[in-house]
C-alpha cells in the first residue's frame, strides 16, 4: 500500500530527526482521559489530508482526523487505499500537557493566565500571589506527549468496517465511525446520519472492530443530536456498551444547516450526561505500563466526549468544554479559516501560510486543493472582494507561488520551520539524537526540512 507511507522522501527517514521519538504515546481515548481540554481537527471531505493535518498539528491541535473514507471501497481495492489515505512519521505534533487540570494545553493555560492577570495585582493581594505560585509549580509537571491520528470511516455493515480498520490499524491511533454526515447521498447509501436512528447497527459495527482489533483499540463514534433526545440516549448507550472508546457530538440535528443554525450546547451536554450514565468502561482500560499513571491506570473510566460545531476561536473551545463537560473540542470550518486558532491566533499567521504551501506542494497535494486551502486562510487578509476574486482566478502553481512571494508569504530561510519554536522560546540549537522534540523543539531549518522530506 504505497500511499500509507506518504510521499517519498530523500534522505530516508532513518537519517532524519523525528519530532517526538521519546514523547509519551497514547491512543486518543486515553489521551483525552489523561489530559483534559484537548483540541481536535474534524474530518473534512477533501480538506483534512496529510499536509493540512501536519499544519494544524503544529498549532496545538492534539488529535487530527482523516477525511471520511468509504469503508467498503477502502477494504476492497488498493487504488482506493492509495488515493484516500497517506501518512508519515512527521505529521503528528509534540505537545507539553499538564495532567489533572481542566485545561491542559499550553495555549489554554496561557489564555487563562492572561485573563487572571487582567485583574490588577493590588486587588488580588495574597490570593493573587498564591495563584501565581501554584501556576509556577504546575508548569514543572508538564508532560511531553505525541499527538494522535484517527481515520474516519463511513459504513453501514460490520464486516467492511472491521476489514478497513484492520488494513489501516497499524498506521493510525484509532478509527472513527461517521454517524453524522447530513449529505443526502450519504443518507441514501445508509451511511452517516442514517445511523442516528439505527443504534443496533452501530452497536454491531463497534463490536466487530473490537473483536478484530482488540478491546484496547480506540473506536470513536461521531454523532449529531436528534430532535427526540430519547433516540440520542439510545444511540449513545448502544455504542458505549458495545465498547466505543470516544463519543464525538455535533450540536445540530441532521436537518439543520451549519450556516444558519446555532449549536445546541444543551443537546451536547445531554449526550455527555447519557455517556456518563453508562458508567465506567472497566473492560476497556489501558494495558498499564509506564504511561498508565497519566491515564486510567488500567481500571477504565468514563468515556471521554468531544464537542463539535462552530468552534472559531480558542475561547470558543474553552467555553464549550466548560459548558458541556466534554474533554475535547473539535473544529472544521474554523480551522480551515485559521489553522492556528487553537494556539490563540486571531487569524492565520504568515508563517502558517508559507509552511502549508511548502509542505503541500512538496508532498503532492493537488494544486486546486492547495489554492482552496490558501483562499480560506487568506480570506481575512484580502483587502477586498476584488483581491479574493483575483486570487481564486490564478491559474497554475507558478502563478500562485508568484502571488505568495509578492505578498511575502513564502517560507524564508531564517527562523524555524516549526512556528511554535519561536513562539514558546525553543531556541536552543539541537545537539544530537533525542533533542529537538517537545520543549527542545528546535531543529535547524535544514534539519527539519530534511526530516519532513523537503
The set of catalytic residues is 181
How buried is 170 (Cβ within 10 angstroms: 0-12 exposed, 13-18 middle, 19+ buried)?
exposed
Q: Which residues pair with 305 in a beta bridge?
A: 247
Strand partners, 95: 145
Task: Report the alpha-carbon distance of residue 86 to residue 51 in Å, rounded.
Answer: 10
Task: Spell out the residues 6+ positions from residue 198 whose beta carbon is closer than 8 angstroms to its own.
Answer: 156
**Would you say 341 and 331 are in contact if contact means Cβ atoms under 8 Å apart?**
yes
Cα separation, 20 vs 195, in Å, equals 38
Report how far residue 164's alpha carbon sits from residue 70's, in angstroms, rounded to the nearest whole number: 9
3-state helix, strand, coil in the chain (%, to 5): 50, 10, 40
Distance in angstroms (rounded) separating the CA atoms of residues 79 and 56: 27
Spatial neighbors of 295 by CB under 8 A, at least 6 apart, are: 26, 30, 31, 33, 34, 286
CA–CA dist 397, 42 (Å, integer): 27
Answer whether the bond into residue 253 is a cis peptide, omega within 30°.
no
Report the distance separating Cα 190 and Cα 205, nearest Å: 14
Cα distance from N-terminal residue to C-terminal residue, the chain: 22
**Which residues is 150 bridged to in the sheet?**
65, 174
Cβ-proximal residues to 378 (8 Å cutoff; 6+ apart), any chain? 348, 353, 391
The answer to whether the CB of 245 falls within 8 A of the CB of 284 is yes
| Neighbouring C-beta atoms of residue 46, cutoff 10 Å | 12
3-class DSSP state of 5: helix
Helices first, then strands: H and E counts in the chain: 19, 11
Task: Identify the sign of the CA torsion 449, 167, 208, 215.
Answer: negative
3-class SS at 423? helix
Parallel/antiparallel/unpaired status of strands 219-224 and 174-179: parallel
**Residue 94, SS3?**
strand
Amino acid at each position: 500500500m504505497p500511499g500509507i507511507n506518504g510521499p517519498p522522501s530523500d534522505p530516508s527517514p532513518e537519517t532524519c530527526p523525528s519530532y517526538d521519538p521519546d514523547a509519551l504515546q497514547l491512543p486518543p481515548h486515553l489521551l483525552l482521559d489523561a489530559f483534559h481540554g484537548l483540541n481536535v481537527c474534524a474530518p473534512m471531505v477533501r480538506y483534512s489530508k496529510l499536509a493540512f493535518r501536519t499544519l494544524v498539528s503544529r498549532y496545538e491541535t492534539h488529535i487530527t482526523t482523516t477525511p471520511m473514507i468509504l469503508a467498503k471501497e477502502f477494504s476492497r481495492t488498493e487504488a482506493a487505499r492509495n488515493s484516500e489515505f497517506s501518512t508519515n512519521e512527521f505529521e503528528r505534533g509534540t505537545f507539553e500537557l499538564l495532567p489533572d487540570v481542566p485545561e491542559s494545553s499550553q495555549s489554554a493555560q496561557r489564555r487563562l493566565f492572561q485573563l487572571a492577570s487582567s485583574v490588577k495585582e493590588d486587588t488580588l493581594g495574597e490570593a493573587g500571589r498564591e495563584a501565581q505560585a501554584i501556576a509556577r509549580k504546575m508548569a514543572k509537571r508538564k508532560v511531553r506527549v505525541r499527538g494522535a491520528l484517527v481515520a474516519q470511516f463511513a459504513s453501514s455493515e460490520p464486516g467492511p468496517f472491521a476489514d478497513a480498520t484492520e488494513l489501516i490499524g497499524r498506521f493510525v491511533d484509532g478509527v472513527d465511525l461517521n454517524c453524522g454526515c447530513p449529505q443526502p447521498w450519504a443518507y441514501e447509501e445508509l451511511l452517516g446520519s442514517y445511523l442516528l436512528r439505527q443504534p443496533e447497527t452501530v452497536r454491531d459495527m463497534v463490536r466487530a472492530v473490537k473483536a478484530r482489533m482488540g478491546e484496547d483499540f480506540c473506536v470513536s463514534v461521531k454523532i449529531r443530536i436528534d430532535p427526540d433526545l430519547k433516540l440520542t440516549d439510545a444511540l449513545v448507550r448502544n455504542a458505549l456498551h458495545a465498547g466505543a472508546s470516544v463519543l464525538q457530538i455535533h450540536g445540530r440535528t441532521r436537518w439543520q444547516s451549519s450556516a444558519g443554525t446555532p449549536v445546541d450546547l444543551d443537546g451536547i451536554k445531554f449526550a455527555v450526561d447519557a455517556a456518563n450514565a453508562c458508567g465506567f468502561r472497566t473492560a476497556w482500560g489501558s494495558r498499564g505500563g509506564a504511561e498508565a499513571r497519566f491515564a486510567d491506570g488500567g481500571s477504565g473510566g468514563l468515556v471521554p466526549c468531544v464537542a463539535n460545531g462552530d468552534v472559531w476561536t480558542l475561547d470558543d473551545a474553552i467555553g464549550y468544554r466548560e459548558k458541556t463537560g466534554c474533554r475535547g473540542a473539535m473544529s472544521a470550518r474554523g480551522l480551515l479559516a485559521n489553522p492556528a486558532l487553537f494556539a490563540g491566533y486571531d487569524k492565520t499567521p504568515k508563517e502558517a501560510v508559507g509552511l502549508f504551501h511548502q509542505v503541500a506542494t512538496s508532498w503532492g497535494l493537488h494544486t486546486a486543493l492547495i489554492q482552496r486551502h490558501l483562499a480560506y486562510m487568506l480570506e481575512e487578509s484580502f483587502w477586498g472582494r476584488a483581491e479574493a476574486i483575483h486570487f481564486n482566478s490564478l491559474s497554475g502553481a507558478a502563478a500562485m507561488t508568484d502571488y505568495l512571494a509578492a505578498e511575502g508569504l513564502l517560507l524564508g530561510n531564517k527562523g524555524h520551520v516549526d512556528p511554535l519554536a519561536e513562539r514558546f522560546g525553543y531556541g536552543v540549537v539541537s545537539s544530537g539524537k533525542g533533542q529537538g522534540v517537545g520543549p527542545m523543539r528546535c531543529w535547524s531549518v535544514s534539519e527539519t526540512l530534511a526530516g519532513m522530506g523537503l
